[in-house]
Chain A
Amino acid sequence: MTFKRFEGGQRYIADEGLMASVNAALALRRPLLVKGEPGTGKTMLAQAIAEGLGLKLLSWHVKSTTKAIEGLYTYDVVQRLNDSRFGGKDVSDIRRYIHLGPLGRALTSDEQVVLLIDEVDKADLEFPNDLLRELDEMSFTIRELDETVVAKQRPMVVITSNAEKDLPDAFLRRCVFHYIEFPDKERIRKIVGVHHPNLEHKLLESAVERFYKLRSVEGLRKKPSTSELLDWLLVLTRAGVKPEQIEAALPFSGVLIKQEQDRDLLERVRGRPGWKGL
């Protein structure tokens, strides 16, 4: 095999399926699309791949207003205008006003890099489609210079999505897809251990049990995620809540369940047999 193989990172434990997906993306030179609930370590994965392969990581955090072209480059025409009128600088070289974006830098880099396109679903519906050509051909044109840039080293592209919006089919077909499952109890205990190392064992056990019970309620709009569990545990310890109290009721449930509709749903679920004290 001629590609570098990913075997997991030092601090990142990848399961077999995830490693298979990463290696397929590396070998077949396709972008890796990682989906999963918040708190499943999607963003961390890109770091782990970069570390594992000894490559530099470039991140592009997508927002609702992000345009595909910004990832490639921006042309600071206002600065140029300002310079020409008041700056007394030489403005004949447009190149000075072209700034490369993360994707642009990844494509022009001399060495291979890992490019993270984080939360691609945050942007406009058409955003992923606008990236297709550049990701496929690994080249782009700077219109203002009439110059085509071809990647020297094809970057490993990792794209994450929270599934807020659905991605276009044409885009999906070009990606290697992997869905990261929400961590199971054993794994979440380890994650909690990293953040709150001095937690009382019994409290942790009860809290984790309750947390998963809560997540199993059908019809929740927003299931509580890892970060909410961590916050909740912090509140519980600060308030000196005893493990028995967690078993009897759900103190500070507002930390876990934030949406009005979900609170109403819980109210209804509590009445059903087997869900008492939720």
Chain B
Amino acid sequence: MVDRSIENFECGHRACGGCGASSAVRMILKGYGENTIVVNSTGCLEVFSTPYPETAWKTPWIHSLFENSSAVASGIEASLKKQGRLDTEKILVFGGDGATVDIGTLCISGAFERGHDFTYICYDNEAYMNTGIQRSGATPYDADTTTSPAGVCSTGNNLPKKDYPQILVAHGSPYVATASMAYPADLMKKVEKARNTKGPCYIQVHTPCCTGWGFDGAKTMEIGRMAVECGLWVNYEVIDGELATVKKVKRVPVDDYLKAQKRFRHLFKPVRNDAEIAKIQAIADKNAKKYGIDIE
């Protein structure tokens, strides 16, 4: 059972007001329970939660580099195993989308191949937010970032979002899931399930970023829900390579989700760009077909 009274993430950290990631981290720590060792790669979460000489964490916490959090977790796991402590203590890795889908892929692939017993959480805010909103492999199509600026010659990021969970399904991971911080009960349940699954588990959590995406901090949960309702984000679970559960929705067009964020405003101003919006709608339709999210 998820214990909602667990508070292992303390006030006073430097996240923006309305930060999706810090809200998600609080939920994840509640879901994962006590006796947790946290490994954190470089990223927004690491920077805002541990400003020198303070820390917001009340769990053992280690940060090494951008790319090697899963390698560090592998080492900790091997040590706990040798000491016979792995039954009671579990390892939780946090990486941003940049640290996961771009920079850390090599170490993650190695750790998942070796089959270490830990849970990797990718909090996906869809760009390198900490260094100033540069595009990453997880940035969605047509998003405006500082390294894929929209303007006269460009409509923003011209590459599709990398389907990272499926890469780890291909590694033979026993539990791969996607979740959204806008659905807290679902998120905490999935994290708890990952803790109770032996082997390397992966959960990619959609965490809207008010600063990088350009919306009011109060709307963080609403933006997360809109992404799920239009089909651009799909909440699913893959257990032992088989699609187990999918969040079904009554799908709405992507327009409202795009309009709510400044990173997509070039699609509506000065004139509506129907061709590009149709391409984004096609991505949502493809997701819907692939995972069968439509309620008939």
Are A and B interaction partners? Answer: no
